[in-house]
């Protein structure tokens, strides 16, 4: 061994099979004192195995990538080999997307009952009905009535009166009597809810601006709302004033200015008529 530092040789004699002969065999017994054996040698072996493993891993990866690329190239080549015939007929099927027909049967409109709203409840005042002159009737005395001997019978709508003088009155129908009822005279004055077209004030802002705030109301700090009823004539002017509601301190001022109001005429059956209208006045301190 070349790397041995200490080498001791021993000469040993050993008998052989043949008598009288001795063979001297030099056996070399080497005592090794090598400081490099151990961890350095293991590190050297480890580096060798690591290098071999790295080479194997790289080889496997390169082989897999090459196989993948080769497979893609083969598939692409096969796709190019398939001929395309531009004359190949393409059949298109039309799909009908037309919606189903809708039943166009017209539904008769529902008649809505029109409820007329009362525009001003305070204007609803009962109007006096004029009495008509009745026909003059001559009443007989009790003696004359006692002398009349009559029998009266009724069959359905026919009244038969029989007397000693053989007077017969028949076929007097009740319906004919109803026609003789005197018709009510047309109204002369209407409420605001009774006319087809209600009057509208056209100068309320101007009249409000001309109102004078009463001194007593200013001293007491009083505010309020006064509503006055006015009778509007067919020409739109105020004919007369009606009732007032609200604080009395403002009544005199409202009475003075309410007569200056101007309205559009109220219409009933396309004719101008007299209409009672309620007009509010607000008094506020600034």
Indicate whether 30 and 66 sit together in one domain. yes
Q: What is the pTM of this model?
A: 0.36
Q: What is d(CA 54, CA 156) in angstroms, rounded to the nearest whole number?
A: 132
Domain boundary, last residue among 83, 113, 135: 83
The answer as to whether 44 is a domain residue is yes
Lowest-confidence segment of 82-86, 98-102, 122-126, 138-142 by average pLDDT: 122-126
Q: Are residues 12 and 62 in the same domain?
A: yes
Structural domain contains residue 92: no
Q: Domains in the chain: how many in total?
A: 3
Same domain, 198 and 255: yes
> With 80 as the cut, is the pLDDT of residue 6 above it?
no
% of the chain residues with pLDDT over 70: 52
Res. 277: pLDDT tops 50 = yes
State which of 83, 98, 133 marks the end of a domain: 83
204 vs 181, higher pLDDT:
204
Let me know whether 25 and 55 are in one domain: yes
C-alpha span between 29 and 2 (Å, rounded): 14
Check whether residue 197 and residue 216 sit in a common domain.
yes
Q: What is the CATH number of the domain that holds 257?
A: 3.30.2420.10
Q: In which band, very low, low, confident or very high, does the pLDDT at 231 lie, cut at 50, 70 and 90?
A: very high
Residues 77, 150 share a domain: no
pLDDT (average), residues 243-257? 89
The pLDDT-based confidence of 286 (bands split at 50, 70, 90) is: confident
Q: Please tell me the predicted confidence (pLDDT) of residue 117.
A: 55
- CA dist 150 and 139 (Å) reads 17
* Digit-coded pLDDT (tens) for 32-44: 445 556 677 888 8
Q: Looking at the structure, do residues 176 and 247 belong to the same domain, yes or no?
A: no
Residue 121 lies in a domain: no
The secondary structure of residue 123, as a DSSP letter, is G
**CA distance to 72, 87, 88, 95, per residue, from 82 (Å):** 16, 15, 14, 32
Among residues of the chain, what percentage have pLDDT more than 90?
A: 18
Q: Which pLDDT score is estimated for 134?
A: 46
pLDDT value at 170 more than 90? no
Same structural domain, 161 and 231: no
Domain assignment of residue 89, yes or no: no
More confident residue, 26 or 228: 228
30, pLDDT greater than 50: no
β-bridge mates for residue 279, sequence order: 228
In a domain? residue 111: no
Residue 25 has pLDDT above 50, yes or no: no
Q: Are residues 208 and 162 in the same domain?
A: no
Say whether both 175 and 198 belong to one domain.
Answer: no
Is residue 99, in this structure, part of any structural domain at all? no
Question: Is 97 within a domain?
Answer: no
- What is the pLDDT, as a whole number, of residue 273? 92
pLDDT digits (tens, 9 = 90+) for 198-228: 999 998 888 888 888 888 888 888 888 999 9
Distance CA 282, CA 277 (A): 17
Q: Tell me, yes or no, whether 213 and 179 share the same domain.
A: no
Give mean pLDDT, residues 127-149. Answer: 54
Domain of residue 65 covers: 1-83
What's the pLDDT tens digit per position in 72-92? 989 888 877 666 566 666 676
Is 103 a member of any domain?
no
Give the domain-ending residue among 156, 183, 210: 183
Q: Are 238 and 176 contained in the same domain?
A: no
């Amino acid at each position: 061994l070349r790397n041995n530092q200490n080498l001791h040789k021993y000469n040993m004699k050993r008998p052989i099979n043949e008598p009288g002969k001795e063979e001297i065999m030099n056996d070399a017994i080497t005592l090794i004192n090598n400081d490099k054996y151990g961890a350095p040698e293991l590190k050297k072996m480890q580096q060798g195995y690591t290098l071999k493993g790295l080479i194997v891993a790289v080889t496997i990866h390169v082989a897999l990538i090459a196989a993948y690329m080769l497979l893609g190239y083969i598939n692409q080549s096969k796709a190019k080999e398939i001929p395309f015939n531009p004359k190949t007929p393409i059949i298109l099927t039309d799909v009908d997307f037309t919606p189903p027909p809708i039943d166009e049967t017209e539904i008769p409109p529902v008649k809505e009952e029109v409820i007329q709203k009362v525009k001003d409840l305070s204007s609803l005042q009962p109007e006096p009905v004029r009495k008509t002159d009745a026909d003059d009737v001559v009443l007989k005395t009790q003696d004359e009535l006692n002398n009349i001997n009559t029998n009266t019978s009724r069959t359905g709508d026919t009244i038969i009166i029989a007397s000693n003088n053989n007077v017969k009155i028949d076929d007097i129908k009740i319906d004919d009597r109803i026609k003789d009822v005197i018709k009510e005279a047309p109204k002369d004055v209407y409420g605001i809810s009774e006319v087809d077209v209600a009057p509208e004030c056209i100068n309320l802002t101007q009249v409000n601006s001309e109102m004078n705030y009463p001194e007593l109301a200013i001293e007491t700090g009083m505010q309020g709302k006064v509503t006055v009823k006015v009778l509007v004539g067919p020409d739109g002017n105020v004919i007369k004033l009606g009732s007032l509601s609200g604080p009395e301190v403002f009544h005199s001022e409202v009475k003075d200015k309410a007569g200056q109001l101007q309205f559009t005429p109220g219409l009933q059956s396309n004719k101008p008529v007299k209409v009672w209208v309620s007009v509010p006045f607000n008094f506020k301190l600034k």
